[in-house]
Amino acid sequence: MRIPLFHVDAFTGQPFRGNPAAVCPLSSWLDDGLLRKVAAENNLSETAFFVPTSGLSGPEHYELRWFSSRGEVRLCGHATLASAYVIFNRLQPDSEMLGFQTRFSGTLPVQK
């Protein structure tokens, strides 16, 4: 199994500074136990996983979840911004706005 992974240093423009997060874009959700294991393997405070949602109008929408080596995290700011960075700069460079649907923290709008 291959899982795409981006290592993003949030809050900085320089490598090896800021607050690091792993970001994994997925086409569909994997088992929670596997998500936790991927996060543990990354050995960072959080790993973000997102899946595009369908049927919503307006800006791009994604389901977003964060995991640490201990399990799912309720909210993580720097991994949210790192996920937006990956979408805006690698996956959807023409997008200006997006929305993250989360399990515990509602919808998080992000503007480029």
CA separation for the pair 47, 79 (Å, rounded)? 7
The tens digit of pLDDT for each residue in 13-66 reads 999 999 999 999 999 999 999 999 999 999 999 999 999 997 655 568 999 999
Residues 36-57: b if buried by 16+ CB within 10 A, e if exposed: bebbeebebbbbbbbbbeeeee
**CATH code for the domain of 11:** 3.10.310.10
Domain that holds residue 76: 6-111
Q: What is the number of structural domains in the chain?
A: 1
Which residue do the tokens 């640490």 mark? 68
pLDDT confidence bin for 101, thresholds 50/70/90: very high
pLDDT tens digits for range 77-95 = 999 999 999 999 999 999 9
**Tens-digit pLDDT profile for residues 6-18:** 999 999 999 999 9
> Residue type at 4?
P
Choice among 41, 46, 63, 72 that is catalytic: 46
* Distance in angstroms (rounded) separating the CA atoms of residues 33 and 70: 10
> Is 63 labeled as catalytic in the residue annotation?
no
Q: Provide the pairing of β-strand 47-52 with 19-25.
A: parallel
Residue 85 lies in a domain: yes
In a domain, 1, yes or no: no
